[in-house]
Amino acid sequence: MDSFEFENGEVLRDVNVEYMTFGTPIYDEDGSITNAIIYCSGSLGNYSGVKKLAPLVGKGDVFDENKYFFISLTALGSPNSCSPSTTGLKNKFPKYSILDVVNFQKKFLKEKFRIDHVLGIIGNSMGGFVALTAAIYYPDYADFIMPGVSSYKVAGHDYILSKFVDEIITSDPDYAKGEMTYSLIRTLRLANLAEFNFGLSKEALRKMSNEELSAELENFGNEMLEIDIYDLKYCNKSCMNFNVENELDKIKSKVLIISCKQDPHFPPELDGIPMCEMIDDAQIIIMDSQLGHLCFNELESISDDLNEFMDNFR
């Protein structure tokens, strides 16, 4: 895009937006796409997160690609879209909020596809924050939203985790330099290791031997070194401040919440169920999956429930 203005008034020009599309666009008499479904990935994920829907896009399936047009963006702040690493601004990148992520997406969809209204928004984890925020600030924007393994606020153990990751990163005196050093590589690894315990369910982790856990932790830390520490810092901070608890009554979209009873990040009893009770016309599906916070990789296990919900939008 030529430019993007952040909520705080800062403007960046010539910004990258990484995205992919698949499916079949349907147009109204004005030439506007009427069946667009937007997919929003979790923290620092990219457009390819939409592959979680792959088992459900065949003919006659829940998200039949002959009936829907999917657009998946790499969010503001994530590498290859406009981010601290992609722009080279590092710690000089503008501070951004989840509302900025929504506005970045909306502006791009308007400029690239002339889309002012979408059929739906599906988002997992941080992507759920994006879906909720879009439905709150732009109540007529989406017919439905589907926040998964997500919440209406970052609080309790999740806030402490985000605060801990932020402390790890900012405590390194090299952070202010704006360039990677040996010390920052070590700090990045530690910050990522703090997240390891919040992916798979406690049950799945308990089934592994300590030797297996040590190997998995080691591999996770090494793989996550590919993330830029400044991308991680900014994204973590935007999530840490997320709270729309007092604004859920503004949502007009039909809402399907997907929770997982083994999710160590957002357990249903603390997040999904209370959120469902606070939103008019909301429904909830509680998955039973050893994958825990990663349960979107098993969405086919709830295809019947998803089908029942999507019957409203065919």
Cα gap 286→292, rounded to integer Å: 11
Q: How far is CA 278 from the centre of its chain?
A: 21
Burial 169-203 (b: 16+ CB within 10 A, else e): beebebbeeeeeeeebeebbbebbbebbeebbbee
Contacts of 268 (CB under 8 A, 6+ apart): 259, 260, 261, 284, 286
Contacts of 76 (CB under 8 A, 6+ apart): 4, 82, 83, 96, 100, 101, 104, 105
Cα gap 235→46, rounded to integer Å: 13
Measure the CA angle with vertex 255, ends 250 and 260; round to 5°.
125
User: Known catalytic residue: 263?
Assistant: yes
Residue-wise DSSP of 205-253? HHTS-HHHHHHHHHHHHHHGGGS-HHHHHHHHHHHHT-B-GGGGGG--S
Instruction: Exactly one of 61, 100, 172, 263 is catalytic; name it.
Output: 263
Choose among 19, 25, 48: nearest CA to 37.
25
Strands 36-40 and 69-73, sheet pairing: parallel
Q: Which residues are catalytic?
A: 263
